[in-house]
Structure 1
Amino acid sequence: MTDAEEAEVVSWLESAAERKIETGCAWVFLAGDTAFKVKKRVDLGFLDYSTLDLRLWALERELRFNRAATSDIYRAVRKLTRAAGGGLELDGPGAVVEYALEMRRFDERAVLSAQPWAVDGPLADALGREVARVHARAELRPQGGGGKALKYTIDSNARLIRELAPKLGEERVEALIAATDAEFFRRKPLLDARRDAGFARQCHADLHLGNILLEDGKPVLFDCIEFNDVLSDIDVQYDLAFLLMDLDFRRRRDAAVRVLSAYVDEGLRHFDRRLLAGLAALPLMMAVRAGVRAHVQAHSGDLEGASAYLGAGLRHLSPPPPSLTAVGGLSGSGKSTFARLIAPGLGASPGAVVLRTDEIRKRLLGVAPDAALPASVYSPAFYNDVYDALFAEARTLLDAGRAVVVDATFIQPELRGRVEALAQEAGAPFHGVWLQAPPEVLARRIEGRESDASDATVATLRMQLDRDVGPVDWVRVDASGPAQDAAEAWSIQHGGAPLA
């Protein structure tokens, strides 16, 4: 295609469109409920659309890759052909002048980058689970992932950021490069082991809020990378790291940590416990993602944003040590809400992974997190299995450097002793929190629950009230009022800053 033909294609599509969107490597034309995407005739090194065949190859991959997660947005690759009268037409019998990807048009205001505040708890939970499911069904890419794939981006970041050092500050730039390299070589054996264990897959690879849509209350992933296998055949955790870094950077650490906790619970339905051990490399991966954004922002002229991403990368590479916090109390005391409120302020970004016995039960039985189960499944043996899984997962996370909040009733003194011993064995600081409220408040909350993993009923609460829980030497917190107040009180008690 010549320059004149490219201009003709753009003019023809634009004449029927309500709006044209231009990026560095494509145009998108919006008309009614349809969008047509045309690749530009460019070669950027890491991306080559310089010939008609290469553009067709890229569009067909874009269609196929995105359909894995977003089946109804990406419709078909269409031909723009030469009409008998000399003009252009769609899918005619004449010679192909260009190819276009037909898509379903969606509301641009529904993209999460335009409304980061919309990522509330339930949406964050749904998003984490959706990403985990997409990763679980993604094709294995044993030739990708590992240390080699991540080092490709690390070296690219170093080269591009160094070009900007005079504008961003030589000392900070070199500090980020040195810290990233040091952490990479520390984690390279883990990265390679994850590749060999099947965590290298064909991923979205550009998973930030600008490529996630909210439709009918559900997250929809779109616009994945199709043009370079080195960038898309990666560790699934590096894919997730972009979303976590983006939320964290937008001061939505509360949403990010809930995404992470949901991803962990859902991921353990599809992967083994090595999923948890891999979180030791999450600070590195988030720092690399921040480094990418630093040079992208700088090259677009946003030096203030680039500097902020540089600082974020450095912070990710200096995480605080892990801790273990146990949140106990009778059913209805607000343990899960309290755990989620305090999690963002604990440990490495984006915060502590929350492990709930309510969710572990459903996972072990292979049912949905909010599936209602009869009391008959809760045998003493199964009860023990759930707590064994809780403690094993918590220990793996602590060993990986992640702070953990365990959410369970902890009615039995021996279970409280086990969780305290676990922290001691792992060399992690321990905090025990016991939430308490009047029985009538607990009962009212249980009766008002909807779509929650807990199967506790008012009858369950009565049985708990009749039991002797023994001496509880954990910090007691009044949970009779709003959970935010209880979490604030605990945070202040422990010298932490007030919750955001």
Structure 2
Amino acid sequence: MSKVLELAKELGAEVIQTHTSWVLLLKDVVYKIKKPVNFGFLDYSTLEKRKEMCYKEVELNRRLCPWVYIGVVPISEVKGKWVIENDENVVEYAVKMRRIPDEAILSNRLDKTTEEDLKKVAKVVADFHVRAKRVDEFGKMEVMKYNTDENFAQTEKYIGITISKEDYDFIKRKTNEFYEKHADIFEKRIKEGRIRDGHGDIRTEHVAFLEEGVCIFDCIEFNDRFRYGDVLNDMCFLSMELEYFGREYLARAYEEEYRRISKDPDFDLMLPFFKCYRAYVRGKVNSFLLDDPNLTQEEKEKAKERATKFFKLARTYAEMIK
């Protein structure tokens, strides 16, 4: 950690920490250094693994954001100090990116974003899904049910805290009824080639409007399982978030344009199911923060509010599941 801070100071960079990375922000570029952590679903524990994941992050993100991902650069230790873009004594690697202006990112410009803007995003996402690699085995109903079963098991402890017993039982029942009623749809969608290597995290803070066009960045590189799946499950993360932020009109424009381009015959049936899943996952992730000893009480209260709101949204979608 001290070496990272020393490097940031040398570069005159602002440092932002996530639980998996140190991000060094300069005026025009960003360096992202992975932390030596292992969470089971994510393993950056060795230098070789961090190097591999840096290259994978660049390769995968260039699919939807070719103008931003410059490449992977080495960090060497020279005379006791870290020196970036130096390969004489490599001790770490970083993803080098062009810095995206804050005002270009969708989450920062919701008030000025138009329906036409979201139609452009939908076109980019739909075109990407057609090109993306098929991963048929991840479309099996058993795979999806494993994910939803895991969600319900992991959130049971938050009943009465971030989700009511009634909502928990209702969402769980509607989800499992959907599997019973529509098992054939999952097989049908596999045959139609609708299971692809997607982005995995298309959210408002990962969409930017640049001079070159729409850029969707920061896809999930650390675990293929979280990126592979039904194209509707991939696309609807963004419309769910737009509705969470009260921008239903933008969500509609995005969904309708995607529907028009994809001509997906199961769109109306599958969309509420997948949006319920996405909202529930966000409720779960925010609930987990309540157990983080590194957060202040104020941060935990905010996480609790977000989790409760996401679970309520999941309940709304569950009511639409047929």
Shared fold per TM-score greater than 0.5: yes
The alpha-carbon deviation at position 312 of structure 1 amounts to 1.2
After superposition, the CA RMSD in angstroms is 2.0
The correspondence for 1:226, drawn from 221, 225, 250, is 221
Distance 1:217 1:163, change over 3 A: farther
Q: CA–CA distance in 2 between the matches of 1:93 and 1:247?
A: 43
Contact 1:187 1:281 in 2 (8 A): no
Aligned pairs for 1:435-454 (under 5 A) are: none
The alpha-carbon deviation at position 93 of structure 1 amounts to 4.2
Q: CA–CA distance in 1 between the matches of 2:112 and 2:182?
A: 35
Equivalent residue of 1:311, what SS? helix
Cα deviations across residues 382-403 of structure 1 (Å, max 9, x unaligned)?
xxxxxxxxxxxxxxxxxxx7xx
Aligned pairs for 1:410-429 (under 5 A) are: none
Larger radius of gyration: 1
Aligned amino acid, residue 230 of structure 1 = R
Structure 1: runs of 5 or more not aligned: 1-5, 269-274, 320-347, 349-400, 402-500
Distance 1:258 1:52, change over 3 A: same
- Tell me which residue corresponds to 1:24: 19
Is residue 213 from structure 1 mapped to residue 208 from structure 2 by the alignment? yes
Aligned pairs for 1:93-172 (under 5 A) are: 93-168=87-162, 169-172=164-167
Q: Give the stretch that moved more between structures: 299-308 or 206-215.
A: 299-308
Distance 1:298 1:28, change over 3 A: same
Distance 1:193 1:177, change over 3 A: same
Q: CA–CA distance in 2 between the matches of 1:27 and 1:74?
A: 17
- Tell me which residue corresponds to 2:296: none
Distance 1:191 1:279, change over 3 A: farther
Q: Give the stretch that moved more between structures: 285-294 or 46-55.
A: 46-55
Cα deviations across residues 191-245 of structure 1 (Å, max 9, x unaligned)?
2321232111110110111110122394311100111111111111100110111
Aligned pairs for 1:463-478 (under 5 A) are: none
Aligned amino acid, residue 287 of structure 2 = A
Task: Give the TM-score, by structure 1 length.
Answer: 0.59
Identity of aligned residues (%): 26
Aligned amino acid, residue 96 of structure 2 = E
Aligned residues: 309
Distance 1:41 1:257, change over 3 A: same
Aligned pairs for 1:242-257 (under 5 A) are: 242-257=237-252
Q: CA–CA distance in 2 between the matches of 1:15 and 1:119?
A: 37
Equivalent residue of 1:139, what SS? coil
The alpha-carbon deviation at position 108 of structure 1 amounts to 1.7
Structure with bigger helix share is: 2
Structure 2: runs of 5 or more not aligned: 290-299
Distance 1:292 1:93, change over 3 A: closer
- Tell me which residue corresponds to 1:493: none
The alpha-carbon deviation at position 17 of structure 1 amounts to 3.4
Is residue 287 from structure 1 mapped to residue 287 from structure 2 by the alignment? no
Cα deviations across residues 353-383 of structure 1 (Å, max 9, x unaligned)?
xxxxxxxxxxxxxxxxxxxxxxxxxxxxxxx
- Tell me which residue corresponds to 2:308: 307
- Tell me which residue corresponds to 1:317: 318
The alpha-carbon deviation at position 14 of structure 1 amounts to 4.2
Contact 1:146 1:194 in 2 (8 A): no
The correspondence for 1:36, drawn from 24, 27, 31, is 31
Equivalent residue of 2:137, what SS? coil
Distance 1:219 1:200, change over 3 A: same
Task: Give the TM-score, by structure 2 length.
Answer: 0.89
Is residue 176 from structure 1 mapped to residue 159 from structure 2 by the alignment? no
Contact 2:174 2:318 in 1 (8 A): yes
- Tell me which residue corresponds to 1:333: none
Cα deviations across residues 309-366 of structure 1 (Å, max 9, x unaligned)?
11111111212xxxxxxxxxxxxxxxxxxxxxxxxxxxx8xxxxxxxxxxxxxxxxxx
Equivalent residue of 1:220, what SS? strand
Equivalent residue of 1:174, what SS? helix
Aligned amino acid, residue 142 of structure 2 = K
Q: CA–CA distance in 2 between the matches of 1:149 and 1:24?
A: 27
The alpha-carbon deviation at position 282 of structure 1 amounts to 1.2
Aligned amino acid, residue 282 of structure 1 = L
Aligned amino acid, residue 63 of structure 2 = A
Distance 1:186 1:57, change over 3 A: farther
- Tell me which residue corresponds to 2:266: 277
Contact 2:74 2:87 in 1 (8 A): no
- Tell me which residue corresponds to 1:65: 60
Q: CA–CA distance in 2 between the matches of 1:280 and 1:32?
A: 46
Distance 1:174 1:45, change over 3 A: farther
Contact 1:146 1:234 in 2 (8 A): no
Identify the structure with bigger relative contact order (alpha carbons < 8 Å, sequence gap 6+): 2
Q: Give the stretch that moved more between structures: 11-20 or 256-265.
A: 11-20
Cα deviations across residues 23-62 of structure 1 (Å, max 9, x unaligned)?
1111110112110001111111211111111111211111
Q: CA–CA distance in 2 between the matches of 1:74 and 1:58?
A: 14
Contact 1:21 1:29 in 2 (8 A): yes
Q: CA–CA distance in 2 between the matches of 1:115 and 1:123?
A: 11
